[in-house]
A and B are shown apart, each in its own frame.
Chain A
Amino acid sequence: MDLGALATELRRITVAVLGSDHVAGAGVAWAPGWVVTNAHVARESHVTLQRADGTRAEARVMARDPEEDLALLHAPRLNGADATLADNGEVRVGALIVAVGHPFGVRGAMTAGIVHAVGPLVRGGRPWIQADLKLAPGNSGGPLADAHGRVIGVNTMIAGTLALAIPVSRVVRFVAKAR
Chain B
Amino acid sequence: MDALLALSDGLAAAVQRAGRALCAVHARPRVPSSGVHWRSGLVVTASHTVRVEEDLTVVRADGRSVVATLVGRDPALDLAVLKVEATELPVADLGESDGVHVGHMVLALGAGPRASWGVVSAIGPARSRHAETDVFSLDLTLYAGFSGGPLVDARGLVVGINTSGMSRNLQLAIPAKVVSRVVDQLVRHGRIPQAYLGVGTQVVRVPETVREQLHLAQETAVIVIEVQPGSPASSGLLMGDVVLALDGHAIADPFDLRGVLRPERIGQRITASVLRGGQRLDVPLTVGERPPRSR
Contacts and interface: CB of A to CB of B under 8 A. Distances in A.
Chains A and B come from one and the same complex: yes
Interface of A: 1-3, 6, 92-96, 113-117, 130, 132, 146-148, 160-162
A165 to B, nearest CB: 15
A52 to B, nearest CB: 21
Interface of B: 2-5, 7-9, 11-16, 19, 107, 112-117, 140-141, 143-144
A3 B141 CA distance: 22
| Interface core residue of A3, A94, A116, A147 (most chain B CB under 10 Å) | A94
Contact of B4 (A3, A93, A113): A3
A94 B5 contact: no
B115 A132 contact: yes
B141 A161 contact: yes
B115 A2 contact: no
Given A92-B15, A161-B141, A147 B7 contact: yes
Given A94-B16, A132-B117, A147-B2, 17 more contacts: A1-B2, A1-B4, A93-B15, A93-B114, A93-B115, A94-B15, A96-B11, A114-B116, A115-B115, A116-B114, A116-B116, A117-B114, A117-B115, A160-B143, A160-B144, A161-B143, A162-B141
Contacts of B144: 160
B117 A114 contact: yes
Contact of B12 (A6, A95, A130, A132): A95
B112 A96 contact: no
Contacts of A6: 4
Contacts of B14: 94
Contacts of B143: 116, 132, 160-162
19 contacts: A1-B5, A92-B15, A93-B15, A93-B16, A93-B112, A94-B14, A94-B15, A95-B8, A96-B8, A113-B117, A114-B115, A115-B12, A117-B114, A117-B115, A130-B114, A147-B2, A147-B4, A147-B7, A161-B141
Contact of A147 (B8, B115, B117): B8
Contacts of A116: 114-116, 143
Nearest to B114: A117
A108 to B, nearest CB: 19
A132 B117 CA distance: 7
